[in-house]
């Protein structure tokens, strides 16, 4: 039984703000009714496959908070096939969902990959309720002879990516089934079983014969074996590989894979990026990422002002800040002075500080930019941190918060790659200026005498002036620091332009370019700070 689901939004948004599937309560209920249709006949052997575009990690909850996972597990879905990621992250995006309850229920989620760019094709087989698949890559402009000979083992299934929990009364099958696709006739098919505890030594070799009910267009090969011989505590002890020989003498081997006749699941090793993309429920993770970034910026703005209120005019702060430049053990034992000094000196310019506070408030409360959200040259819509505000054609009612959490593809890169680096660069430029004009040179500091209290007594003559102190090594150090900060500003500008062009291509360069908060504010703040920090 194959059931397809369509979770696109009622108002179709243009990418990248169409990254999530949006099911409704009615759609989830209809799917559940469809899946339970055959449950009234308990004797019928049923295999349920659901396919849709969006992975579960990029599927939002319905209006009442319902999700597909509980329906799939309750209605004994074997696998959910999805796409959307185009095999960009990995060609093995597989996940076993386990739902705890009175009974442990499971279903597999398999990403299909991409045909348009990667030319990936999946062969799916169902053998008496056991689902198996094989992904193959075809040439973009190949002929019939270029189709590779393909060997798909339909039973026993791969214990890493296909096994599920078996019922207690389940009996192991005593057969091996293999489907072989080839443009040339197959004359011999052999299966070999290997024992991983014995250095993968072959323990049995089983010849397979063409099934009696198989035709030339459906080459199914099968054989009998004693499955009891391969019962094991480990689901990855025994491994199976099948070799197919065609009439031209070319031998093709299947992928060596573990199996479990008891239906146990072996460990599926996954990369951290795969787990991040496919295992994380991004609908819930998005607010965590967004508001943690906002809280960081709020702390960056408020903490120095609170600190200045208590110690800014106190002589202790001046000793702290001076100790940063002093080559003394006392100064080196105070690592907290570095970030505190950076925050305080970076926020001393009241005009820029108030401008940054106002800018952050605008990002939280006001629209970010205008753009063509649904189609080219249609009515303009506005995007804010809460989503899109759209007025559909012929409808006087505005639709608010459209594309949530899809807008994370816009908000998170902008907050993490533009806004946060902008704030840090502004603080760095102002702190660097304060360090240059307010404190003696490092060379002078290093020639100071350290008294008993751990502080330096500077060897400055009465005739020493501020200009004499700040020349020499101090000027060289400032030049190097300034060059480093200017290089960071250049990198930031490049990232900002790339981000602006990407959003402009998606929603129209014209309307996006007229958006003050999104386009004008970052370069204006940076240019002003560069001028004031000279």
CATH number at residue 171: 2.60.40.1220
Has residue 262 been placed in a domain? yes
Max CA pair span of the chain: 108
Report pLDDT digits (tens) over 381-409.
Answer: 889 999 888 876 655 556 677 888 989 99
Query: Of 69, 88, 115, at which residue does a domain stop?
Result: 115
Please tell me what DSSP assigns to residue 21.
B
Say what the pLDDT of residue 111 is: 92
Report, as an integer, the average pLDDT of 87-104. Answer: 82
10 Å CB burial of residue 3 (0-12, 13-18, 19+) is middle
pTM of the model: 0.82
Give the number of other CB atoms < 10 A from CB of residue 411: 25
Q: Helix (H, G, I), strand (E, B), or coil: what is residue 429?
A: helix
Same domain, 420 and 518: yes
Question: pLDDT: is 472 or 520 the higher one?
Answer: 520
User: Which candidate, 406, 404, 430, places its Cα nearest to that of 343?
Assistant: 430
Q: The domain spanning residue 73 has which CATH number?
A: 3.30.750
Give the span between the Cα atoms of 10 and 63, in whole angstroms. Answer: 14
Please report which confidence band the pLDDT of residue 263 belongs to, taking 50, 70 and 90 as the band edges: confident
Rounded to the nearest 10°, the torsion over CA 162, 167, 171, 175 is -10
Q: Which residues contact 39 (CB under 8 A, 6 or more apart)?
A: 46, 75
CA-nearest of 419, 287, 402, 282 to 363 is 419
What's the distance, CA 303 to chain centroid? 31
pLDDT of the residue at 99: 85
β-sheet bridge partners, residue 29: none
pLDDT of residue 445: 47
Identify whether 400 is part of a domain: no
Burial class (CB in 10 A: 0-12, 13-18, 19+), 214: middle
Give me the domain span that covers residue 465.
282-366+408-532
Query: What's the Cα-to-Cα distance from 269 to each of 95, 172, 272, rounded to whole Å?
Result: 11, 26, 10
* Domain end call among 51, 83, 115: 115
What is the residue-wise DSSP string for 204-239?
Answer: EEEEEEE-TT-BTTB-EEEEE--GGGG--SSTTSEE
Helix ranges (DSSP H) in 40-189: 68-74
Does 382 map to a domain? no
> What average pLDDT does this structure show over 428-437?
81
Residues 128 and 110 in one domain: no
393 within domain boundaries: no
- Dump pLDDT digits (tens) for 332-351: 445 666 777 788 888 888 89
Asked if residue 391 belongs to a domain, the reply is no
Q: Taken in order 265, 218, 248, 205, is the CA torsion positive or negative?
A: positive
Same domain (yes/no): 446, 509? yes
> Do 142 and 108 share a structural domain?
no
Does one domain contain both 62 and 145? no
Looking at per-residue confidence, does 529 or 374 come out higher? 529
**Residues 368 and 516 sit within 8 Å (Cβ to Cβ):** no
Q: How far apart are CA 200 and CA 204, in angstroms?
A: 11
Same domain, 105 and 127: no
Sign of CA dihedral 303, 304, 306, 307: positive
Residues 220 and 342 in one domain: no
Together in a domain, 245 and 348: no
* pLDDT value for 142: 54
Q: What is the CA radius of gyration of the chain?
A: 33
Together in a domain, 260 and 137: yes
Is residue 128 domain-shared with residue 87, that is, in the same domain?
A: no
**Domain shared by 94 and 125, yes or no:** no
Residue 387 domain-assigned? no
Please give the Cα distance from 78 to 110 (Å, whole number): 11
Of 280, 311, 333, the last residue of a domain is 280
DSSP three-state, residue 294? helix
Question: 132 in a domain, yes or no?
Answer: yes
Q: How many domains, the chain? A: 3
The rounded distance, in Å, linking the Cα atoms of 195 and 229 is 12
Tell me which residue of 391, 152, 144, 176 sits closest to 254, measured CA to CA: 152
Do 102 and 240 lie in a common domain?
A: no
């Amino acid at each position: 039984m194959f059931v397809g689901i369509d979770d696109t939004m009622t108002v179709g948004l243009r990418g990248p703000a169409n990254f999530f599937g949006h099911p409704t309560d009615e759609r989830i209920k209809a799917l559940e009714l469809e899946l339970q249709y055959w449950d009234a006949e308990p004797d019928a052997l049923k295999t349920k496959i659901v396919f849709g575009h969006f992975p579960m990690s990029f599927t939002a909850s319905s209006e009442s908070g319902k999700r597909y996972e509980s329906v799939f597990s309750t209605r004994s879905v074997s696998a959910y096939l999805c796409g959307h990621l185009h095999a960009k992250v990995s060609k093995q995006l597989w996940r076993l969902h386990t739902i705890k309850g009175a009974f442990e229920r499971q279903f597999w989620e398999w990403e299909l990959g991409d045909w348009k760019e990667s030319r990936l094709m999946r062969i799916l087989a169902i053998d008496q309720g056991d689902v198996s698949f094989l992904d193959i890559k075809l040439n973009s402009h190949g002929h019939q002879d270029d189709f590779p000979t393909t060997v798909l083992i339909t039973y026993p299934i791969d214990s890493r990516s296909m096994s599920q929990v078996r019922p207690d009364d389940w009996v192991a099958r005593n057969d091996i089934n293999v489907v072989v696709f080839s443009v040339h006739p197959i004359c011999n098919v052999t299966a070999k079983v290997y024992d991983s505890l014995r250095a993968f030594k072959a323990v049995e070799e089983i010849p397979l014969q063409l099934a009696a009910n198989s035709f030339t267009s459906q080459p199914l090969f099968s054989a009998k074996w004693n499955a009891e011989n391969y019962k094991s505590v480990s689901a990855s002890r025994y491994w199976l590989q099948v070799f197919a020989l065609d009439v031209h003498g070319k031998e093709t081997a299947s992928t060596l894979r573990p199996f479990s006749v008891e239906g146990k699941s072996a460990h599926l090793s996954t990369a951290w990026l795969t787990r991040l993309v496919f295992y994380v429920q991004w609908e819930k993770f998005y607010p965590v990422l967004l508001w943690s970034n906002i809280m960081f910026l709020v702390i960056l703005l408020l903490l120095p002002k609170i600190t200045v209120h208590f110690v800014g005019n106190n002589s202790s702060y001046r000793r702290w800040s001076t100790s940063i430049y002093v080559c003394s053990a006392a100064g080196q034992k105070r690592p907290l002075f570095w970030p505190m000094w950076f925050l305080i000196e970076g926020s001393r310019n009241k005009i820029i500080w108030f401008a940054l506070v106002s800018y952050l408030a605008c990002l939280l409360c006001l629209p970010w930019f205008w753009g063509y959200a649904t189609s080219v040259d249609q009515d303009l819509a506005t995007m804010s941190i809460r989503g899109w505000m759209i007025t559909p054609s012929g409808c006087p009612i505005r639709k608010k918060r459209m594309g949530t959490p899809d807008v994370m593809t816009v908000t998170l890169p902008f907050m993490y790659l533009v806004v946060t680096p902008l704030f840090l660069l502004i603080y760095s430029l102002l702190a660097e200026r304060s360090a240059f004009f307010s404190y003696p040179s490092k060379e002078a500091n290093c020639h100071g005498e350290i008294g008993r209290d751990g502080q330096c007594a500077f060897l400055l003559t009465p005739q020493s002036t501020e200009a004499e102190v700040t020349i020499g090594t101090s000027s060289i150090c400032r030049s190097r620091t300034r060059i480093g900060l200017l290089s960071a500003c250049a990198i930031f500008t490049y990232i900002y332009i790339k981000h602006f062009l990407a959003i402009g291509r998606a929603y129209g360069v014209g309307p996006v370019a007229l958006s003050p908060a999104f386009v004008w504010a970052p370069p204006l703040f940076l240019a002003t700070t560069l001028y004031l920090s000279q």
